[in-house]
A = this chain, B = another copy of it.
Amino acid sequence: MDSTLVLPYAEVDPKSPVPLYHQIYLDLRQMIQNGIFAPGGMFPPEMEICHAYNVGRQTVRQAIARLVDDDLIERFAGRGTFVREQPSHTQFFLDRSFSQQMRELGRKPHSRTLSIEMGTVNAENIPTLQALKGQPCFLIERLRLGDEEPICHQTSTVLIERCPGIEGQDFTNQSLYEILSTQYHLIINRIDHVVRAVAADEYRADLLNVAEGSPLLFVGTTTYLDDGEIIEHSASYYRADRYEYSTTQTCCD
């Protein structure tokens, strides 16, 4: 009899052509996303929702089933329904897989910034960026190390149109993806990866401390926002003996 105070959020209309359970689903979802119910906390029981919207239990259960399907809430027979911690959009990105892989190998990940500058997109050798040529961007060149040994040379290009002022952010403790998500509320929708084997040129051979011409693993990523716009592109060259790229393909991709 507590949360009844906040239910319903918006009224529902039984005469609307859109089913009641769907109206209720939308209303409850809105409340979850607006943080009306604390993540991890209790969600109102079925009967309470029934009374709040003045509908039958079946109808409420249909709405709730969708929320469960969306991974927004979790149910336990006998215990109740709980709001799930929002699945963070920052959970997947290349930075993390590098740091993670280093830790799995028992190495301390570390990063040394070689250069940071503002500029315009230079699309040479990068077909994906052709269309964005000349747009203002933010360039970071970094050397990534594991246990102080060089493992990767990485160049990131961040389009600044959607995140002005990003050059002033601190990248030592937060990843680029965390900053995009928390500071600019930009939602990353997709990352394309391209992996190639290349021979080390003089510059990178020197940086990575390998012989010129020895094999390097090139990993190119292009990051897309919700609306399909490119927000970032990175080119990483890994020492072949220190790094491998891995993915899992599931049946239901």
Is A171 an interface position by the 8 A CB rule?
no
Q: Which residues of B contact A218 (CB under 8 A)?
A: 197
Q: Which of A177-209 contact B (CB under 8 A)?
A: 187-199
Chain B CB within 8 A of A104 CB? no
Within 8 A of B (CB), among A207-253: 213-218, 238, 240, 244-251, 253
Distance of A144 from chain B, by nearest CB (Å)? 16
| Cβ contact within 8 Å between B195 and A248 | no
* Least Cβ–Cβ distance between A6 and chain B, in angstroms: 28
User: Are B246 and A217 touching (Cβ within 8 A)?
Assistant: no
A248 to B189, alpha carbons, bound, how many Å? 10
Kindly state the separation between the CA atoms of A199 and B253 in the bound complex, as whole angstroms: 32
Give the CA-CA distance A128 to B245 in the complex, in Å: 15
Determine how many copies of this chain the complex contains. Answer: 2
8 A-B pairs (CB sep. < 8 Å): A192-B249, A193-B246, A194-B245, A197-B198, A197-B238, A197-B240, A199-B214, A199-B215
Contacts of A216 in B (CB 8 A): 197, 215
Chain B residues with Cβ under 8 A from A191's Cβ?
A: 248-249
Q: How far is the CB of A77 from chain B (nearest CB, A)?
A: 12
Tell me how far the C-beta of A94 lies from the nearest C-beta in chain B, rounded to whole angstroms: 9
Contact A196:B240 (CB < 8 A) given known A213-B213, A215-B215, A215-B216: yes
Which residues of A40-60 are within 8 A (CB) of B? none
- Interface contact A92-B253, CB-CB below 8 Å: yes
Closest chain B residue, CB of each to CB of A191: B249
Indicate the member of A189, A240, A249 with the most B CB atoms within 10 Å: A249
Docked complex Cα distance between A192 and B248 (Å): 4
| A89 sits at the interface (CB 8 A) | yes
Q: Assess the B247–A193 pair: CB atoms within 8 A.
A: yes
**Are B192 and A246 neighbours in the complex by a CB distance under 8 Å?**
yes
Q: Which residues of B contact A213 (CB under 8 A)?
A: 213
Nearest Cβ in chain B — how far from A220, in angstroms? 9
Least CB distance, A212 to chain B, in whole angstroms: 12
Query: 10 tightest A-B contacts by CB?
Result: A215-B215, A197-B240, A197-B217, A197-B197, A195-B245, A197-B215, A191-B249, A196-B244, A194-B246, A193-B247
